[in-house]
């Protein structure tokens, strides 16, 4: 079974991490850290800024900066929010 990941940040998701739509229903594409009440929480962020933000979070969780950068640069551009940018 394929794991669902946030289509903005790449975080693995389960139902407790689903974002919310404007009508307060759950959004299964984006996590609650990225999407609340039908809007992105970091609406004006660029893809490069999002990559750097993810690197900082991953390093804070114990990942090496090199591994975090490789993962973020490989994942983020392929996600729905960032494709075609």
Mean pLDDT of successive 10-residue stretches along the chain, which has 85 residues: 85 92 96 96 96 97 97 96 84
Q: What pLDDT shows up at residue 2?
A: 61
- Residue 1 makes CB contacts below 8 A (sequence gap 6+) with none
Q: What pLDDT shows up at residue 85?
A: 65
Q: What pLDDT shows up at residue 69?
A: 97
Q: What pLDDT shows up at residue 54?
A: 96
Q: What pLDDT shows up at residue 14?
A: 87
């Amino acid at each position: 079974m394929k794991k669902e990941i946030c289509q903005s940040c790449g975080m693995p998701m389960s139902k407790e991490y689903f974002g919310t739509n404007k009508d307060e229903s759950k959004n299964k594409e984006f996590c609650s850290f990225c999407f609340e009440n039908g809007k992105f929480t970091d609406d004006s962020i660029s893809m490069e800024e999002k990559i750097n933000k993810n690197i900082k979070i991953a390093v804070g969780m114990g990942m090496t900066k090199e591994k975090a950068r490789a993962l973020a640069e490989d994942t983020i551009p392929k996600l729905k929010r960032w494709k075609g940018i």
